[in-house]
Amino acid sequence: MDILITSITNSIELFIKYHRYYLRGTGITLLVSFFGVFLGVFFGLLLALMNLSKNKILKGISRSYINFIRGTPLLVQVFIVYLGLPLVGFGFMPDLWLVIIAVSFNSSAYVAEIVRGGIQSIEKGQTEAARSLGMTQRMAMRYIIIPQALKNILPALGNEFIILIKESAIISVVGIHDLMYQTDTIRGISYRPFSPLVFAAIIYFIITFSLSRLLNVFERRLRAGDQSI
């Protein structure tokens, strides 16, 4: 019993001593996740629209891209982007940008599939009504289909955000100073291999759990708008 109490006190002391590392790491993790999600949704929407278009070439590009991303590990993708982009003239980019690009490329493929499902779940009659009123296909998408689809896919999208925050730990392998990287640093300099990891896990959990709560509230507010069924 005494051993347990001592080890907990020691751990807390360790956390207090190195809390700046955790703070900085958490900042980078949040930054990468935020931009990863933001760009991921943007590209994902684009990919989904390409995928649903009648143009066979656009459709083909989008399908192959989605299949490639979903069929290869994020770890490999991060290395390919991180080491590959500088080879083709993007050497000027800071490391942080490179990993944000890698993460958002990955996320966009999953978001694209979610969005495609959302768009296809809207009844055909909605498009027909919009088109019968003289709207172009683009207007029908923008004002009628996508707003309804986004509302339907919000839970799935939220889930994707949460996955992305956790998966972003992989960027530590290319030396980005995110939460996981900082945790490893603390383990090294403190000669304590275990307890820093526990704090990292707690921080990841707090982020993802609060995000999922936040999304719940947001979702409920959206539903209140239409008071349906």
Partner 1 sequence: MIKVSNLNKSFDKLHVLKGIDEEISQGEVVVVIGPSGSGKSTFLRCLNLLEHPTGGEIVFEGISITDEKNDINNQRAKMGMVFQQFNLFPHMTVLGNITISPMKVKGLTKVEAEKIAFKLLKIVGLYDKADSYPSQLSGGQKQRIAIARALAMEPEVMLFDEPTSSLDPEMVGEVLDVMKKLASEGMTMVVVTHEMGFAKEVGDRVLFMDDGVIVEQGTPKELFENPKHPRTQDFLSKIL
Is the Cβ–Cβ distance between 199 and 15 less than 8 Å?
A: yes
User: Minimum distance between the CB of residue 51 and partner 1, rounded to whole angstroms?
Assistant: 23
- Decide whether 6 or 132 has the Cβ nearer to partner 1: 132
User: Minimum distance between the CB of residue 133 and partner 1, rounded to whole angstroms?
Assistant: 4
- Decide whether 127 or 208 has the Cβ nearer to partner 1: 127
- Decide whether 97 or 218 has the Cβ nearer to partner 1: 218
User: Minimum distance between the CB of residue 117 and partner 1, rounded to whole angstroms?
Assistant: 18
Separation between Cα atoms, residue 111 and residue 39, nearest integer Å: 10
Among 7, 1, 4, residue whose Cα is nearest residue 195: 7
- Decide whether 1 or 229 has the Cβ nearer to partner 1: 229
User: Minimum distance between the CB of residue 141 and partner 1, rounded to whole angstroms?
Assistant: 12
What separation in angstroms does the CA of 154 have from each of 111, 128, 133, 158, 228? 11, 24, 28, 6, 17
Is the Cβ–Cβ distance between 149 and 115 less than 8 Å?
A: yes
Binding site for partner 1 (CB under 8 A): 123, 125-126, 128-136, 139, 143-144, 147-148, 151, 225-229
What are the structure tokens assigned to 218, written together?
């947001």
| Count of Cβ atoms closer than 10 Å to residue 46 Cβ | 16
